[in-house]
Amino acid sequence: FRFYLPMSPHRICMVSDFFWPGFGGVEIHIYNLAQCLLKQGHKVIVVTRLYGNRRGVRFITNGLKVYYTPFQAIKFPPGEVTLPNFHLFLPLLRTILLREGITIVHGHQATSNLCQEALFHAKTMGLATVLTDHSLHGFADSAAIHINKYLEGRLCDIDHVICVSHTSKENVVLRARMPDPTKVSVIPNATDTTVFTPAQSLKYNTWSVTECLTIVVVARLVYRKGVDLLVDVVPQVCRAYSNVEFVIAGDGPRRIQVEEMIERNSLYDRVHMLGEIQHADVKHVFRRGQIFMNFSLTEAFCIAIIEAASCGLLVVSTRVGGVPEVLPEDMLILADPNPYSLLAATTKAIQRVRSVSPWDFHERIVAMYSWDEVAVRTECVYANIITHPIPTLLERVHIVYQRGWLFGKILVFLVLLDFLLWRLLEWFHPREAIDPAVDFPYADYLLNRDRLLKQARNWDSNRQPTPRGRMLSGAL
């Protein structure tokens, strides 16, 4: 049994380039963590970038307020992120934080420029800061060298860092040259086990009742997700087993490579491409299969693995990053990231899957992973960092100056410039002139949710819906 002390409510701002309507592990993590923290009585807002015509302030599920800031993203290998805004983001961020009365700024993903700049400015304003890193990066290539140096400068005076696996923790400590590894905690991802469930018809059965086997792949079709391995392994499995089919969900620049593989091997009736799908439809894709395959070349923590296992699928994955920490050995078959090892692991899975009980897998995932547990452990981090003394300007200068004879001087200049701009904003636009935002009445909303949903449906049926009307009714 675990006993937790009740936490005082915090006012939290989550910042990242990656959020809804984007789709990925970071977006899922931010959304579910925010919903659980709202349920615990905390105030949570999200600050993200511009998404198409989605800009300004929006309210989504359960009154979660999202600020879509007017910063356009461009495509980089880590994903679509904003360009560095340097100190131009400070006036807007300061206004948001003061309006909402924020006490903790929680950034997500080390490669997000918006996240890193928000943490830097928040530290200047004397707020508590925490970063959750969701990815692994190398040390040798030029891009990794620049990212690691940038991360070193940003994390040297942050209050706390959260990683999603122990492998990710070691990676961050080494990349950022963290002087105090105790400032890094491990809080894994989770999944909504009430959504990802096997079919009810399999309640007391195993996969032995299924004649044909379907192997499911759900991933972005990019190099990092192992598309090169996929196109080598799929034809070999289809040649070896006539009763096996593949369902591939996802899109990306490497999709043409998969389509060429299907055409070259005449697998039109054995490999089904679904393209890009909504996250709400992922559970239906998993329920079509018995085995889930993950070909990733690097992975800090793969949420799709526990989503698939929660739907009763046996998992085959490459042995990379934090994947071996995700599931026990009887639920996860690991292989080296090469076609021969993956083919052997797939053969082993096909032989073993007939004895798997989907609902037994689901119940075990329920016991292992919960977003409520993630939220409680994150609350403990918040309770710890909120008690830290606010460092003075001289203390911050001393910390960043130790980062190197040249790099340290650059960081000192940036810290002093940011502090100067912040003081000028305090003088030209004093915080007393900024109107506080009204908090969303979360408790009252929960008490009247069913009535509000009924009114929203009646309102939608009695008038021609507009994009804003659809958004508001969807949020309710």
Q: What is the pLDDT of residue 21?
A: 84
Residue range 32-58, pLDDT digits in tens: 999 999 999 899 999 999 888 888 899
Q: What is the pLDDT of residue 197?
A: 92
- Asked if residue 133 has pLDDT above 50, the reply is yes
The mean pLDDT of the chain is 88
Q: What tokens appear for 394 in the block?
A: 């001289």
- Asked if residue 472 has pLDDT above 70, the reply is no
Query: For the residues of 136-148, what is the DSSP string, one character each?
Result: ---SSSHHHHHHH
CA atoms within 13 Å, Cβ hemisphere of 433: 7
CA distance 315 to 350: 11
User: pTM of this prediction?
Assistant: 0.87
Lowest pLDDT segment from 4-13, 89-98, 139-148, 293-302: 4-13
- Asked if residue 305 has pLDDT above 80, the reply is yes
- Asked if residue 450 has pLDDT above 90, the reply is no
Query: Which segments of 160-319 does DSSP mark as H helices, in order?
Result: 166-175, 227-240, 255-264, 282-286, 303-310
- Asked if residue 135 has pLDDT above 70, the reply is yes
Residue range 401-414, pLDDT digits in tens: 998 889 999 999 99
Q: State what percent of residues in the chain have pLDDT above 70.
A: 93
- Asked if residue 183 has pLDDT above 80, the reply is yes
Residue range 51-104, pLDDT digits in tens: 888 888 999 888 899 999 998 887 765 567 788 887 889 999 999 999 999 999
Q: What is the pLDDT of residue 101?
A: 93
Residue 228 Cα to chain centre, angstroms: 24
Lowest pLDDT segment from 77-81, 131-135, 239-243, 355-359: 77-81
Residue range 413-433, pLDDT digits in tens: 999 999 999 999 999 999 999
- Asked if residue 215 has pLDDT above 90, the reply is yes
Q: What tokens appear for 169 in the block?
A: 């923790």
Sequence-distant (6+) residues with CB within 8 A of 98 are 431, 434
Q: What is the pLDDT of residue 287?
A: 92
Residue range 318-370, pLDDT digits in tens: 999 999 999 999 999 999 999 999 999 999 999 999 888 999 999 999 999 99
**CB-based burial label for 460 (10 Å; 0-12, 13-18, 19+):** middle
Q: What is the pLDDT of residue 310?
A: 94
Residue type, 280: A
Give the bridge partners for 187, in sequence order: none
In contact, 320 and 335? CB cutoff 8 Å: no
Q: What length is written for the chain?
A: 476
Residue scoring higher pLDDT (38 or 476): 38
CA distance 30 to 33: 5
Terminal-residue alpha carbon distance, the chain:
35
CA distance 37 to 355: 39
Diameter of the chain measured on Cα atoms? 74
Q: What is the pLDDT of residue 2?
A: 36
Residue range 456-465, pLDDT digits in tens: 777 766 665 4
